[in-house]
Amino acid sequence: MDSFDDNETNNMEKSVNVNQDRKVHLVGGGIASLASAAYFIRDGHISADQIYIYEELSIAGGSLDGSGSARNGYVMRGGRMLNFSYVCTYDLFSFIPSYTNTQITVLDEIKSFNEKVKTHAQARVVADGKIVDVSSMGFSAKDRLDLIEMMAVSEDHLGIKRIDEWFEPDFFKTNFWFMWDTMFAFQPWHSAVEFKRYLHRFIHEFIRINTLAGVDRTPYNQFDSLALPLIQWLKRQGVNFRMGVRVTDLDFNSSGDQQVVSRIHYIENGKHQDVALEENDLALVTIGSMTADSRLGSMSAAPKLETSKADGSWALWESIAKKSKEFGRPFVFDNRVDESKWESFTVTCQGHLFFKLMEEFSGNPAGTGGLVTFKDSNWLMSIVLAYQPHFIGQPEDVTVFWGYGLFPDQPGNFVKKKMSECTGAEIMTELVSHLKFDLVLDEIIKSSNCIPCMLPYITSQFLTRSKGDRPQVVPAVSKNLAFIGQFAEVPDDTVFTVEYSVRTAQMAVYELLQLDKKPTPMYRGDHDLAVLFDAAETMFG
């Protein structure tokens, strides 16, 4: 063996020894932390029993949630669409066994499900109780030019511009806008930079945006299909899940320019406690959360809008941010609830009546239709009828669907109240009236349990921002700290996706451990001539 090989071997041994002693502290139990734990184990060879996940709720999964029962009503704060371009997410789930069949991976399960149940929306947009023809995007020549120019200019050029500061007012009446904004939840006042990133990142979906044929779905809701198998795998490896633990602050030791996390403060069972970090220990913190302070209503009560930052996520980032300007600016995202809130709802139906009517109306068996958006709804309401059963253990005579309204402070078209003030029964009345299923309104209401959910920060990650508002995943001043999740900066990638959080996990693990491994390369349809050609044809069609 020559001296180079000796050094290599010594370095490897050193790193194995360091990693054996290392503890990893993951703050937050969402997909960003769960994915980080998985990559620490698979690629970092960190012993799972040295990994600690601190989650203030009693259940892990974070925004990737799904819970409840047929009797009391199921709840999903969100419903998530996936895409083949989720290369980090698909990498992660290529080594996680499925929850329902451990002989196959979650990725295999997703692929075979999507082979079987293909999305091809036939009622993507509805107005006045009728299906709208959305075969054309409806662009004017000026809209096309604005879109092309937006894709060509730099993010610096767009700066803190809003989307509606770039496009003409009529752009927001095009078929494209109704489909794109309800698919990805953009509002006209959101960041032009984030909108530009979506144009690049999902340009390959232009040609099928009216049918949503490019959307991948999970067999069940995403808690059951993604979070649950991952949590189960991590537990089997020996990862420590510290539930009901709210992290309140981090202490740092400064050494030269570097900030080193030395202690984590937390509250458990009402008691303030802390844990000290040793020299090689690491801390990864999910900063901010789109589902922080979400509150549920019921068939007879509207959900409360909680703005006191009662959950720990924003408060923790605010405390950390005071310690270095490299740690980002949470106030940009958590202080503009009027610009970031909207409301979702989950409906548990006893029987199949609503599903049958919708299937007849749309021509789509449940699970194949994707989103149905009510274009003339003052709340800009959309619903999704997933393939049934949508929950593991869901009885056959129960059906579950999910929906949301992007303008919760507008009065309804039929129920003359703001959506945010409506009970579940009133939301159902508004929905059924848009569909003109009025004749069976009473029957539908009687057999439905609609649970509304107010989400004050749901689009906080889309708010206008400047450089530095989001910290780097591993800030330049950090030795043992990484920020993960939706509010850390990943060049070119798009927030409001599972993929973004998983990518931050890969970046954090590989960089903190100084592994000779790079995150999975991003799919770049915008660098592919064939994709660009198809997109141009759609734009000009």
Ligand X SMILES: Cc1cc2nc3c(=O)[nH]c(=O)nc-3n(C[C@H](O)[C@H](O)[C@H](O)COP(=O)(O)OP(=O)(O)OC[C@H]3O[C@@H](n4cnc5c(N)ncnc54)[C@H](O)[C@@H]3O)c2cc1C
Does the footprint of ligand X cover residue 55 (CB under 6 A)?
yes
Q: How far apart are CA 388 and CA 367, in angstroms?
A: 7
Candidate residues 150, 264, 400, 498; the one interacting with ligand X per rule CB under 6 A? 498
Q: Where are the beta strands (DSSP E) in 312-370?
A: 342-350
- Amino acid in the structure at residue 14: K
Candidate residues 289, 340, 388, 420; the one interacting with ligand X per rule CB under 6 A? 289
Shortest Å distance, C-beta 201 to ligand X? 11
Does the footprint of ligand X cover residue 290 (CB under 6 A)?
yes
Shortest Å distance, C-beta 227 to ligand X? 9
Shortest Å distance, C-beta 146 to ligand X? 26
Nearest to 326 by CA among 210, 467, 449, 214: 467
Contact 438, 449 (CB under 8 A): no
Q: How far apart are CA 472 and CA 491, in angstroms?
A: 9
Please tell me the count of residues contacting ligand X according to CB under 6 A: 35
Does the footprint of ligand X cover residue 56 (CB under 6 A)?
yes
Candidate residues 24, 25, 26, 27; the one interacting with ligand X per rule CB under 6 A? 27
Q: How far apart are CA 29 and CA 53, in angstroms?
A: 6
The CA–CA distances, whole Å, from 57 to 51, 269, 304, 489, 510 equal 18, 12, 19, 25, 28
Does the footprint of ligand X cover residue 312 (CB under 6 A)?
yes
Measured from the CB atom, the residue of 80 and 124 that comes closer to ligand X is 80
Does the footprint of ligand X cover residue 485 (CB under 6 A)?
yes
Interacting positions 429-468 with ligand X (CB under 6 A): 458
Measured from the CB atom, the residue of 63 and 420 that comes closer to ligand X is 63
Contact 179, 125 (CB under 8 A): yes
Interacting positions 341-400 with ligand X (CB under 6 A): 344
Q: How far apart are CA 69 and CA 66, in angstroms?
A: 10
Which string of x and - marks every residue 62-91 that binds ligand X (by CB under 6 A)?
xxx------------xx-xx----------
Measured from the CB atom, the residue of 435 and 490 that comes closer to ligand X is 490
Q: How far apart are CA 134 and CA 132, in angstroms?
A: 6
Does the footprint of ligand X cover residue 193 (CB under 6 A)?
no
Does the footprint of ligand X cover residue 507 (CB under 6 A)?
no
Does the footprint of ligand X cover residue 57 (CB under 6 A)?
yes
Contact 380, 412 (CB under 8 A): no
Shortest Å distance, C-beta 222 to ligand X? 7
**Sheet-wide strand order for 371-374:** 130-131, 125-127, 371-374, 381-384, 398-405, 342-350, 448-455, 295-296
Is 52 a known active-site residue?
no
Q: How far apart are CA 313 and CA 225, in angstroms?
A: 25
Shortest Å distance, C-beta 487 to ligand X? 8
Q: How many CB atoms lie within 10 A of CB 145?
A: 11
Q: Which stretch binds ligand X (CB under 6 A): 360-368, 419-427, 463-471, 498-506?
A: 498-506
Give the three-state DSSP class for 24: strand
Point out the catalytic residue in the list 52, 198, 500, 523. Answer: 198
Candidate residues 175, 362, 480, 501; the one interacting with ligand X per rule CB under 6 A? 501
Candidate residues 286, 362, 382, 460; the one interacting with ligand X per rule CB under 6 A? 286
Three-state SS for 125-171 is EEECCEECCCCCCCCCHHHHHHHHHHHHCCHHHHCCCEHHHCCCHHH
Residues in the site for ligand X, rule: CB under 6 A? 27-32, 54-57, 62-64, 77-78, 80-81, 246-247, 286, 289-291, 312-313, 316, 344, 458, 485-486, 496-499, 501
Could you give the residue numbers annotated as active site?
Answer: 198
